[in-house]
Amino acid sequence: MKKIICSILVASMFLTNTVSHANSFLMHTAKAGDSYFYISEKYNVTINELKALNEDSDDIIYEGSLVKVKPISKNITIKIDNITLQPDQSPYIENNRTFVPIRFIAEALNIDKILWDDSSKTATLMNNEKTIKLTLGSHIANVNGKDIKLDAPISIYKGRTYIPIRFISEIFDCIVSWDNSSSTVLIDTKSTYNEDLYWLSRIIEAEAQGEPFEGKLAVGNVVVNRKNSPNFPNTIKKVIFDTNYGYQYTPVLNGTIYNSPSWESIKAAKMVLAGNNNISNCLYFLNPRKSTNTWIIKNRTFYKSIGLHDFYR
């Protein structure tokens, strides 16, 4: 398996595309010890169905190989800013994530550079201040030096390198949703409101996961209060990534800012953006059980506690 990856990947990255109208499939990346019996039990399909679908006459499954599990009832559609795009190869789904060819999504999102390091089998996408490194077979993506876990690995399929479309699109500041009725991935690249919602919901999730809803709302309002203050940057994204006095938010430093938010965090972010303020003009918060920052305690006025966080003006 490893011997053929290099030549396949080089071809997949740089050869001219050909259009394919093959169906989309639910896929499974084989792990050490996987068998057709295990996969058939996991996905409730028969061994014979699996073998027929994968055109396989023996019982050997190689670690890292993609196994077709079942066809998806509808081919997956990709829409960017309401324009329907046709990938040159059909997407597939693994662990509820839609995977598409790397060059297709990079070009669709106008990524500046796509590089390939043959020695490490790593693709690098570069756009503005973002650099993403994606290594073949890995569950880890590296974003500006921070490792982010993926739900399924980067893989070769039909001679092309496939990556998760939601992850890549969101890293490059797009809003992604899924229309189950039409099996359509919807990507919005333009809306300022969507960019604010994207980053605000993620900082709320990263800072207030496990906190009561009022605590999530309060964390979001601190960020917006900073955006509206002349002493801080004037956009939500810039507030979150502000490093004028060191990293303002730990999730930016440890990479959890890129984790997907819960529905509660999204709801809290929407309420904050709609003007629901439960924290007055507070500009700071901390968890006194974990924080080593004594400057806030010594120099700012305590307002109140919500959950594990103390809020200061």
Domain boundaries, the chain: 2-24+72-188, 192-279
The whole model's pTM is what?
0.60
Q: Are 14 and 46 in contact (CB under 8 A)?
A: no
- pLDDT value of position 19: 33
Output the pLDDT for position 176: 86
| Block residue for tokens 């994530």 | 97
- What does CATH list as the number for 2-24+72-188? 3.30.457.10
- Is domain 192-279 given the CATH code 1.10.10.2520 in the classification? yes
Q: What is the pLDDT of residue 291?
A: 80
| Same CATH fold assignment for domains 2-24+72-188 and 192-279 | no
Closest by Cα among 248, 227, 255 to 171: 255
Shortest CA distance to 228 belongs to which of 217, 238, 214? 238
Helix (H) or strand (E) holding 310: strand 309-312
User: In this predicted structure, what is the pLDDT of residue 53?
Assistant: 92
The helix/strand/coil state of 128 is: coil
The pLDDT of residue 11 is 36
87: number of Cβ within 10 Å: 22
Going residue by residue through the chain, which has 313 residues, state the pLDDT in tens, using 9 for 90 and above.
Answer: 332 333 333 333 433 333 333 478 999 999 998 999 999 999 999 999 999 999 988 888 988 899 999 998 888 999 998 889 888 888 999 999 999 999 899 888 888 888 999 899 999 999 878 899 999 999 999 999 989 989 889 998 888 899 999 999 888 878 888 888 888 999 988 666 678 888 999 999 999 999 999 999 999 999 999 999 999 999 999 999 998 888 899 999 899 998 888 889 988 998 999 899 999 999 999 999 888 778 999 999 999 999 999 999 9
User: Using an 8 Å Cβ cutoff, are 136 and 122 in contact?
Assistant: yes
Structure tokens at 105: 């999504």
What confidence score (pLDDT) does residue 3 get? Answer: 29
- H runs (alpha helix) in the chain: 2-14, 36-43, 47-53, 102-108, 165-171, 192-208, 213-227, 236-240, 250-254, 263-273, 294-299
